[in-house]
Amino acid sequence: MSAEEQIKDTVTKNDVVLFMKGTKSMPQCGFSSRVAGVLNFMGVDFTDVNVLEDESVRQGIKDYSDWPTIPQLYVKGEFVGGCDIITEMTLSGELDQLFEKEGVAYDKDAAEKIREANA
């Protein structure tokens, strides 16, 4: 299976996927840590893909999304964004709205706590 096929398969078979440096339990960069931290804190069940384990996936995800940086978050097969976009969406409540629209379970109280802590 090519990197592109592997990526497409992963994003279509899992509701929430984070392509990141490291894993959700052990991120290997600050940006990946921030996004994984938000998802973990909000109780979102997500699949993590460590791009450091496979160079073809690391480059392949950039080509697949036409987005130059990692991490990259996908919800229901659609690219949502990287660290800055996910941070902004979390603080504005847009991420909550996306999860609700797509039927992704998350902890609403935790999302509010993130916003309160960053107000």
**Nearest alpha carbon to residue 37 among 104, 114, 119:** 114
Q: State the sign of the Cα–Cα–Cα–Cα dihedral 8, 14, 18, 21.
A: negative
Is 83 annotated for ligand binding?
A: no
- Per residue in 5-42, pLDDT (tens digit) is 999 999 999 999 999 999 999 999 999 999 999 999 99
CA atoms within 13 A on the CB side of 44: 32
Find the domain containing 108 and state its range.
3-117
Q: Which CATH number covers residue 56?
A: 3.40.30.10
Average pLDDT of the chain to the nearest whole number: 96
pLDDT band at 52 (very low <50, low <70, confident <90, very high): very high
Quote the number of domains for the chain: 1
- Per residue in 58-112, pLDDT (tens digit) is 999 999 999 999 999 999 999 999 999 999 999 999 999 999 999 999 999 999 9
